[in-house]
Structure 1
Amino acid sequence: MTASGEHIKALVRNHAAGDDAAFYAVALQVAAKAARQGHGTLANELKRVIEGARSQPVASKVTAIARPRGDLADLVTAAFPNVSLRDLVGPPQLKDAIARVLHEQRQRQALSEHGFAPAHRLLLEGPPGTGKTMTAAVIAHELALPLLTIRLDSLLSKYLGETASKLRAVFDAAASQRAVYLFDEFDALGGHRSGNDVGEARRILNSFLIFLEQANAESIVVAATNHRSILDHALFRRFDVAIRYELPDGAQASEVMKTRLGPMGRGIRWAAVQAQASGLSHAELVKAAETAAKQAILRGEKQVTVADLTEALQERRAAGSE
């Protein structure tokens, strides 16, 4: 037999944990063992299958939940992000927190065997445009899962009076289909119950707290908010991890723009633009870099100048102050 018992157990564990990289690594070990045993044809076939599976788009691997129907059709939008953890710019402690969540999810079966659940309820809070939504996309991509965004505006306006039942439909989907479920602008749902005179709104939040408490650890529920101060305090203890986002410092701002500009940013003296970047969010910095790049392209040039970037940053700052 080409695959040893240890190989087979490792394949099963990695498949169950959703760790594709480890799964393929073990599969390649099986192929290498086959080659050493003189089974060259089998080894080559295994390698072709592995490479083919690796190159298969994530979108083709997910099930019909990516096309929400029924109760979810008007509430959920699906995406298959292609952004990795290394693309996220932020302080080391933020990236470490996300890496820990990913590691626990990839090893969720091992944790379950000892009576523990992986971190699967995340609260992301901080100013707009600082990477909260991108973090949900990173988690989805790294775990090869679809990202399902719940449209809270529809939930709270179109379905007022039956919101709790719609929330239940979302959490039922989370229990049956492994995915990342993002509740963006969560403060619309999670405001202080004591400050809300509408009984229906209080019932909605109470329902969410119950559903969140009972949420299946197979899926990841992410709530993103710009306004921590208005969130009901009962929410915080229901989340496994709370991550705080801040506006980027000078070095991070330069990294955000450098990443977006790519080769067009070569030659930029980043220290010369950091002062203009101060106080802008990640999203605003990306927009400024794009504006500068388009200006250079329209002039027929292949590189952005400091003047291009400075002007674009000043425009973003002026737009934000209006």
Structure 2
Amino acid sequence: MAGSGEHFKALVRSHGSGDDDAFYSVALQVAAQAARQGHHRLAADLKAAVDNSRVERPKKVTSIAQPRGDLSDLVIASHPMVGLKELVLPEELAAQVRRVLSEQRQRKQLLDHGFEPAHRLLFEGPPGTGKTMTAAVLAHELSLPLLTIRLDSLMSKFMGETASKLRVIFEAVAAQRAVYLFDEFDALGGDRAGNDVGEARRILNSFLVFLENSSSESLVVAATNHRSILDKALFRRFDMVLNYSLPDAKQAAAVMRGRLGSLARGLRWATLDDEMTALSHADLVRAAESAAKSVILAGGTRVTADDIREALRSRQAASLG
């Protein structure tokens, strides 16, 4: 019979995870093996079936426990293309990201010895400092979909049903391996000692229970700009807390240089240290893009220090405004 046991297991895994590309790839491997064994009719039929499916079936968007109705508004599925080498972080923080990747890549070895890989992560720091990008990098490096849950919408639309919706999400965490990003997490995790209501307390308690018992099959990432308002009970439920901050001059130059590429060749970044202070990663990228577009539209091939300085000052003014 054409097709090995490993092929059939791979077919089941790819179908279960919704990875059409992997499914078709394995199916074509089975077809190739059938051809080598002399089953040319079977091989041709399999290849034709794959070709027809690719034409007739629209590209599948990764689902999260078959979301329907209002829940579908809370989930954004994506397949990020940004890699680890594009992530500019302080070395200590970068080492933490590499540690998460290492544990996830060797998760089977850890599980075989009774240890779970780090899979409950809290990212905290000012806006635009790389929290969401880190989640995207984790997804890309691990070849997983990124599923973003917007808790601000969850709280405002479904106040009476949030706990049940959270249960559905965490059931998906166990059923479908992915990176689950709870963005703007402070909407849910605010300090319960303040002007809290009973419903919000029950929601947070539900989240803590779900998080505590969450499957290590997936990564659950909570991102917040406001660590100070988070309930302290949250921190001990996470395997790792990653603290983000505004980049220093060296990191800022690396961020802009990475975005500008060859347009920045020969630029003396040290002359721009003062202008790059107090800007987030996002602001620096936007400044680099602004300077690059101005030069390209003017017919130039390189940005100058003055081009960058003008763009940086514009971003500084915008952030102050």
Q: Which residue of 2 aligns with 1:275?
A: 274
Question: Does residue 289 of structure 2 align to residue 290 of structure 1?
Answer: yes
| Deviation per residue, 1:241-264 (Å, 9 max, x gap) | 001111111110000000000111
Aligned-residue offset at 1:153: 1.8
Runs of 4+ in 1 over 6 A off after TM superposition: 59-62
* SS of residue matched to 1:122: strand
| Contact 2:182-2:221 at 8 Å conserved across structures | yes
Structure 2 length-normalised TM: 0.81
Q: Which residue of 1 aligns with 2:52?
A: none
Q: Which residue of 1 aligns with 2:222?
A: 223
**Equivalent residues in 2 for 1:76-115 (5 A)?**
76-115=75-114
The Cα RMSD (Å) is 3.1
Aligned-residue offset at 1:203: 1.1
The separation in 2 between residues aligned to 1:62 and 1:107, in whole angstroms, is: 27
| Contact 1:89-1:256 at 8 Å conserved across structures | yes
Aligned-residue offset at 1:108: 1.1
Amino acid of the structure 2 residue aligned with 1:240:
D
Amino acid of the structure 2 residue aligned with 1:198:
V
Amino acid of the structure 1 residue aligned with 2:285:
V
The separation in 2 between residues aligned to 1:186 and 1:211, in whole angstroms, is: 15
| Contact 1:80-1:146 at 8 Å conserved across structures | yes
| Deviation per residue, 1:121-148 (Å, 9 max, x gap) | 0000111110000000000000000000
Aligned-residue offset at 1:69: 3.8
| Contact 1:191-1:230 at 8 Å conserved across structures | yes
Q: Which residue of 2 aligns with 1:156?
A: 155
Q: Which residue of 2 aligns with 1:263?
A: 262
The separation in 2 between residues aligned to 1:120 and 1:249, in whole angstroms, is: 29
* SS of residue matched to 1:137: helix
The separation in 2 between residues aligned to 1:240 and 1:196, in whole angstroms, is: 29
The separation in 1 between residues aligned to 2:61 and 2:161, in whole angstroms, is: 29
Aligned-residue offset at 1:170: 0.8
Aligned-residue offset at 1:185: 1.1
Could you say if the C-alpha distance between residues 170 and 277 of structure 1 is closer, same or farther in structure 2, counting changes exceeding 3 Å? same
Aligned-residue offset at 1:267: 2.0
| Contact 2:65-2:168 at 8 Å conserved across structures | no
The separation in 2 between residues aligned to 1:165 and 1:196, in whole angstroms, is: 23
Q: How many residues align?
A: 283
Could you say if the C-alpha distance between residues 269 and 78 of structure 1 is closer, same or farther in structure 2, counting changes exceeding 3 Å? same
The separation in 2 between residues aligned to 1:80 and 1:90, in whole angstroms, is: 22
Question: Does residue 86 of structure 2 align to residue 75 of structure 1?
Answer: no
Q: Where does the alignment leave 5 or more consecutive residues of structure 2 unmatched?
A: 1-5, 18-35, 38-57
The separation in 2 between residues aligned to 1:218 and 1:121, in whole angstroms, is: 11
Structure 1 length-normalised TM: 0.80
Aligned-residue offset at 1:169: 1.1
The separation in 2 between residues aligned to 1:216 and 1:63, in whole angstroms, is: 19
| Contact 1:119-1:241 at 8 Å conserved across structures | yes
Amino acid of the structure 2 residue aligned with 1:149:
T
The separation in 2 between residues aligned to 1:268 and 1:66, in whole angstroms, is: 50
The separation in 1 between residues aligned to 2:276 and 2:283, in whole angstroms, is: 9
Aligned-residue offset at 1:313: 0.4
| Contact 1:62-1:146 at 8 Å conserved across structures | no
Aligned-residue offset at 1:67: 7.9
Amino acid of the structure 2 residue aligned with 1:223:
A
Question: Does residue 238 of structure 2 align to residue 242 of structure 1?
Answer: no
| Deviation per residue, 1:63-83 (Å, 9 max, x gap) | 544984456312100110011
Q: Which residue of 1 aligns with 2:300?
A: 301
Aligned-residue offset at 1:113: 1.1
Could you say if the C-alpha distance between residues 62 and 107 of structure 1 is closer, same or farther in structure 2, counting changes exceeding 3 Å? farther
The separation in 1 between residues aligned to 2:65 and 2:166, in whole angstroms, is: 18
| Contact 2:61-2:77 at 8 Å conserved across structures | no
| Deviation per residue, 1:58-116 (Å, 9 max, x gap) | x9798544984456312100110011111100111111101111111111111111111
Aligned-residue offset at 1:201: 1.1
Q: Which residue of 2 aligns with 1:169?
A: 168
Q: Which residue of 1 aligns with 2:24?
A: none
Could you say if the C-alpha distance between residues 68 and 270 of structure 1 is closer, same or farther in structure 2, counting changes exceeding 3 Å? farther
| Contact 2:120-2:221 at 8 Å conserved across structures | yes
Amino acid of the structure 1 residue aligned with 2:248:
D
The separation in 2 between residues aligned to 1:258 and 1:141, in whole angstroms, is: 22
The separation in 1 between residues aligned to 2:142 and 2:92, in whole angstroms, is: 20
The separation in 1 between residues aligned to 2:68 and 2:200, in whole angstroms, is: 26
The separation in 1 between residues aligned to 2:104 and 2:267, in whole angstroms, is: 40
Could you say if the C-alpha distance between residues 183 and 64 of structure 1 is closer, same or farther in structure 2, counting changes exceeding 3 Å? closer
The separation in 2 between residues aligned to 1:175 and 1:67, in whole angstroms, is: 14
The separation in 1 between residues aligned to 2:274 and 2:175, in whole angstroms, is: 49
The separation in 1 between residues aligned to 2:239 and 2:204, in whole angstroms, is: 18
The separation in 2 between residues aligned to 1:85 and 1:129, in whole angstroms, is: 17
Amino acid of the structure 1 residue aligned with 2:158:
Y
Q: Among the aligned pairs, what percent are the same residue? A: 65
Q: Which residue of 2 aligns with 1:208?
A: 207
